[in-house]
Structure 1
Amino acid sequence: MAPVETKEDIDHHNLDLEKIASKQVTSVFNPGEYGIVDDHDMNDDEARLVALGYKQEFRREFSVWTSFGVSFSVLGLLPSIATTLWYGLGYSGTAGMTWGWIVAMIGIQCVAQSMAELASSMPTSGGLYYAAAVLAPDGWGPLCSWITGWSNWIGQVTGAPSVDFGCAQMILAAASILHPDYVPQSWHTFLLTVSLLIIHGAISSMPTKYIAHFNSVSTWLNMSILLIVVILIPAATTNANPRFNSSADVWGVITNGTEWPNGIAVLMSFISVIWTMSGYDAPFHLSEECSNAAVASPRAIVMTAEVGGVLGFILNLVISYTVTDIEAVLTSPLGQPFVAYCLQVLTVEAALAVTALTIVCSFMMGQGCMVAASRVTYAYARDGVFPLSGPIWSKVNKTTLTPVNAVWMNTSIGILLMLLIFAGPLAIGAIFSIGAIGAYVAFTLPVTLRTFVVGNRFRPGPWNLGRFSYASGVVATSFTLLMMPILCFPTVNGPDLNAQSMNYTCLVWGGPMFLAMVWWFVDAHKWFKGPRVNVEHKMLQKANDLVPTGTHFSDTGDSNGHTVAEVKEE
């Protein structure tokens, strides 16, 4: 028979709960119903994490600045804008790049601010996937978590392939400059991109300390090179009479590269902004490794979004005021608009220097994306999201202590995605809008639940938006709902629309999401209950009642462990 707890034991547990309840977090445990099993005094960070259902397993060595550094590195402003220049400049010209960036940033900043509020209330590495499970109405947590997790994973798994594809394009374009007779072919781009993916897979499989050193260097390189390029291009431009474009042309002329009305063309150009600004969720996933996470993590999210927004806008201004022939940039045989732009406004030597610096940033960014995606894949596999999750994808390599199987799962999927290169530029271009849609659906679903479902019952953390929370959530939700269909629009319509000009986003993102939903309704709803919590606790009845010790949570989070949904139900 299980031992009976004494009143002193229960009072001790209730004190723990009072300590936890004093922390501004949205706990899955109800005060007076659960006692936490602990053998030491918990600091504030650990108490918050325990309230969320997790024991402290990582060393908290990140700060607001280092978390910001990692997320800014994943943001990769210079290579991101360089890779997606075809969308910003090609769909709506310089006016789209200037006004478009400003308008898009209103929605993006609201998404980031609302996400930061969630990170303060639920500072756990499960991030949005966890938040969706907690904020959903009773009985709906697993489904909301399932949708958020799959959409986030699709956005994550396309990150490294899209960055490496852009990096390969720039490398081949630089080769074309050095060897004018060389014309890059599709299979050249494919093989080079695959090589980059394999290299990044190998680096991501190394022990954590080596990956950390690599990403530290990446952070400083991305920041330094961006500032160098922003200063170098306007200072060294070879344009003359005039040296810079007039403000009337930059801000007032829409060069519509689509067959849609100007307003739709500007909205379509948002893909460049959205894809570029989709890495600021990293501090959320790092919160269990961050000191004072309930404040530092949301601040890092906001800093990344705001600093990235400002510096990205400055780079767009530089391009808009110096580009002289948009058509020539977009139709250059180099196959990479940013490199063609650099050649147009700089000397060959300076253009090669800027291209080389951008390639370095792109390589580093691709590595950061691969690491982030592999950790998300591992976390989801640990909860049984994928087929063969237990025996294969959730395994940690005993030598490197990293999720090597998850790394190579993502690498293999990335290589398969690169086959879209042979279907034409619009087909491979879908990986950018896939990443944008996947990320922002995952970013916004928990925000929508918090805004329209939970409402005033939400317990904000120490960093919160106060009375502006609802307005921010409304704008964030509206922005994502507007952009989801827009990002699926092809550039042409009517008789010009065919297999070569189709936008494959609706297929490449919608297809896996459709299959995931079919899987859910056919089978997954029977066994998937959302994120598994692993803190050891005792299930008690009301405070001060003498009750026998109940079931313990699994220490390992295995198939016998409880989930957030089950805790809520209990």
Structure 2
Amino acid sequence: MAGGKEVLAHEVGLDANSQDDRDMERLGKAQQFKVGRRNFKFYSILGFTTTLMASWESILLTSTYGLIDGGRAGMVYVYLASFVGFFASVISMAEISSIAPTSGGQYHWVSEFAAPRWQRFLSYLTGWLSVLGWQAAFASICFLCGTLIQGLLVFNYSGPEGYIYGYERWHGTLLTMAIAAVGTLVNTYGAKFLPPLEGIILGLHIFGFVAVLVPMWVMSPGQAPSSEVWTVFGNEGGWASMGLACLVGQLTPIFSWTGPDAATHMAEEVQNAALVVPWCMVSTALINGGLGFVMLVTLLYNMGEIADVLNPPSSFSFIPAVHHATGSVAATNGVAAIILVMEVCSAIGILATASRQTFAFARDNALPFSRSLAHVNRRTQIPVTSVLVSTIITLLLSLINIGSTAAFNAIASVMIAALFTTYILSIGAFIRARFQPGGIPPSRFSLGALGLPINVFSVAYLCFAIIFTFFPTAANPTPVDMNWSILVFGVVVIFAIVQYLGHGRLVYQAPVTQVRKTE
């Protein structure tokens, strides 16, 4: 990889703004965010992306999937294998983002690098999938925070003595709305404080990790044998083979790594974006990948028996696991509170990303009411309408949970398939561009001769992994336990195609038509 910390430190200097201007000129876009001086630098955007993905927190929150399908050893080796494929995908997109550092992200990349015959349609499809994927991501994280609060109430107020909390779906809906409101307030009234806030949140992400890790090791009544952690697999889901069970268990690491493209959707607010954004993506993957693995191993050694943590009343396996490790209700509540705070911070970043993706797509006249959605408030210099619309969508989706949690989960979980598809299309288009006369444009972050094999491997991994995001947790599921995300994903794709035929092909301004060739 070209560049490095020395280059990064040297180039993020006085000429950063002029370099950003040249990049925007090549992309054919006007600078609409923070005109004159962008306010995100390397550390603040690193905090933004690292806490948005919240990988070590997500490992604990989604551990149930891996424990059911794969067991202890399965979670370890699936995590390591998945990280290899995930990291290849991240550095592939990092190189592309260095060439085209735009809030449009994947749909712009597809437009610029796909075959001329298909680029307009595929770009439009990619844009819709990215917009809807990030909207679903915001609804999902808000709901996760709401149900975590409910899980803590169940943990603290259930038992033979005292008040027993009644777990109601409408409670979860109201809590989801409350988390969405917090994210909206920070992204509107607190927008100017977001860059320094993200730097502080990055510190909380690291210190919170230590605050959770140490008690689980120090207070644990005893660790599981290493032979059990590293060699004993499990198949509680009843799949036909242990290998298939482990592949289905990929959901735990996949959930933990959702959103590596977030940095590029903020690129037009990042100083020296063509260099900072790709290095931020790489750094985020390495930091979160490392923290996630250490937290995973900590959980597996100190959680107690698997049977004791599966199907808990709180719906979160990590709560009884931490309680076993610490032997303290107060410590368990403290760990859960840290995770809750970090997930709320993640929701703030996801809303910012969703609104910028919506803004960018509307800027190319691809969405209904594009003019309003692409408007940037002159005082706050953020797309306020896109922020508010993203919030309203989450509020409306949360109402579905009152009638059916399964239906809401199906809609929310479509984010993974939608975003993975955009990664596949953009990296696939980039592979094609490598074989065209003149090759790919020069970039300040380059994979060099390794670029093509890494790109091919990443597409193969993503195509393989996306299949298992549609699997239910266990074999022979009931209709309630079935994973309906493939149905919702199919509806989303059909919707995007219909939108293109009825609207997009007439008014959509493909980004490639505005890109300018530079020497």
**TM beyond 0.5:** yes
> Within 1, Cα distance between the matches of 2:16 and 2:335?
53
Q: CA deviation at 1:244?
A: 1.1
1:465 aligns with one of 431, 441, 447: 447
User: 2:8 is matched with which residue?
Assistant: none
Q: CA deviation at 1:389?
A: 2.2
Q: CA deviation at 1:213?
A: 4.6
Structure 1 residues 196 and 67, CA gap change in structure 2 (3 angstroms): closer
8 Å CA contact 2:424–2:462 kept in 1: the answer is: yes
Structure 1 residues 491 and 282, CA gap change in structure 2 (3 angstroms): closer
> Within 1, Cα distance between the matches of 2:411 and 2:226?
33
2:238 aligns with one of 250, 254, 259: 259
Matching of residue 165 in structure 1 with residue 148 in structure 2: no
8 Å CA contact 1:153–1:438 kept in 2: the answer is: no
Matching of residue 354 in structure 1 with residue 335 in structure 2: yes
Please list the CA deviations of residues 134-153 of structure 1 after superposition, one character each: whole Å capped at 9, or x if unmatched.
00112322222112211211
> Within 1, Cα distance between the matches of 2:111 and 2:98?
16
2:38 aligns with one of 60, 71, 74: 60
8 Å CA contact 1:207–1:400 kept in 2: the answer is: no
Q: CA deviation at 1:207?
A: 5.2
Matching of residue 366 in structure 1 with residue 347 in structure 2: yes
Matching of residue 205 in structure 1 with residue 184 in structure 2: no
User: 1:317 is matched with which residue?
Assistant: 297
> Within 1, Cα distance between the matches of 2:148 and 2:297?
21
User: 2:481 is matched with which residue?
Assistant: 501
With 126-135 and 139-148 compared, the bigger mean Cα shift is at 139-148
Aligned length: 491
Please list the CA deviations of residues 38-66 of structure 1 after superposition, one character each: whole Å capped at 9, or x if unmatched.
xx998333223322223445423433333
Q: How large is the Cα RMSD of the aligned pairs? A: 2.5
Rg larger in structure: 1
> Within 2, Cα distance between the matches of 1:477 and 1:320?
31
2:414 aligns with one of 406, 423, 434: 434
Q: Which amino acid aligns with 1:283?
A: A
1:75 aligns with one of 34, 39, 53: 53
Q: CA deviation at 1:372?
A: 1.5
Q: Which amino acid aligns with 2:289?
A: G
8 Å CA contact 2:265–2:356 kept in 1: the answer is: no
8 Å CA contact 1:72–1:279 kept in 2: the answer is: no
Matching of residue 144 in structure 1 with residue 134 in structure 2: no
8 Å CA contact 1:86–1:337 kept in 2: the answer is: yes
Matching of residue 116 in structure 1 with residue 99 in structure 2: no
1:187 aligns with one of 151, 159, 170: 170
2:218 aligns with one of 208, 224, 235: 235
Structure 1 residues 42 and 190, CA gap change in structure 2 (3 angstroms): closer
Please list the CA deviations of residues 341-366 of structure 1 after superposition, one character each: whole Å capped at 9, or x if unmatched.
21222211211111111111111111
1:486 aligns with one of 468, 472, 490: 468
> Within 1, Cα distance between the matches of 2:238 and 2:435?
42
Please list the CA deviations of residues 142-176 of structure 1 after superposition, one character each: whole Å capped at 9, or x if unmatched.
22211221121122112222222221222222223
Q: CA deviation at 1:83?
A: 2.6
2:321 aligns with one of 341, 352, 357: 341
1:246 aligns with one of 213, 216, 225: 225
With 146-155 and 215-224 compared, the bigger mean Cα shift is at 215-224
Q: CA deviation at 1:426?
A: 4.8
Q: Which amino acid aligns with 1:198?
A: A
Q: Helix, strand or coil for the counterpart of 1:491?
A: coil
Matching of residue 445 in structure 1 with residue 425 in structure 2: yes
User: 2:357 is matched with which residue?
Assistant: 376
1:127 aligns with one of 87, 91, 105: 105
Q: Which amino acid aligns with 1:466?
A: G
Q: CA deviation at 1:221?
A: 1.7
Structure 1 residues 429 and 42, CA gap change in structure 2 (3 angstroms): closer
1:47 aligns with one of 22, 31, 47: 22
Structure 1 residues 361 and 488, CA gap change in structure 2 (3 angstroms): same
> Within 2, Cα distance between the matches of 1:116 and 1:125?
14
* TM-score, normalised relative to structure 2: 0.88
8 Å CA contact 2:133–2:414 kept in 1: the answer is: yes
1:476 aligns with one of 451, 454, 458: 458
Matching of residue 329 in structure 1 with residue 309 in structure 2: yes
User: 2:198 is matched with which residue?
Assistant: 215
Q: Helix, strand or coil for the counterpart of 2:435?
A: helix
Q: Which amino acid aligns with 1:218?
A: I
Q: CA deviation at 1:285?
A: 2.6
8 Å CA contact 2:192–2:380 kept in 1: the answer is: no
With 315-324 and 250-259 compared, the bigger mean Cα shift is at 250-259
Q: Which amino acid aligns with 1:251?
A: W
* TM-score, normalised relative to structure 1: 0.80
Q: Helix, strand or coil for the counterpart of 1:529?
A: coil
Structure 2, unmatched stretches of 5+, are 1-14, 159-163
Q: CA deviation at 1:424?
A: 5.6
| Matching of residues 353-432 of structure 1 within 5 Å | 353-390=334-371, 392-397=372-377, 400-422=380-402, 426-430=406-410
8 Å CA contact 1:154–1:509 kept in 2: the answer is: no
> Within 1, Cα distance between the matches of 2:230 and 2:411?
29
8 Å CA contact 2:152–2:333 kept in 1: the answer is: yes
Please list the CA deviations of residues 79-133 of structure 1 after superposition, one character each: whole Å capped at 9, or x if unmatched.
3223322222232221222111001111101100101111122222322221111
8 Å CA contact 2:70–2:246 kept in 1: the answer is: yes
> Within 2, Cα distance between the matches of 1:294 and 1:530?
21
Q: Helix, strand or coil for the counterpart of 1:173?
A: helix
Q: Which amino acid aligns with 2:387?
A: V
Structure 1 residues 428 and 247, CA gap change in structure 2 (3 angstroms): farther
Structure 1 residues 236 and 430, CA gap change in structure 2 (3 angstroms): farther
Structure 1 residues 489 and 313, CA gap change in structure 2 (3 angstroms): same
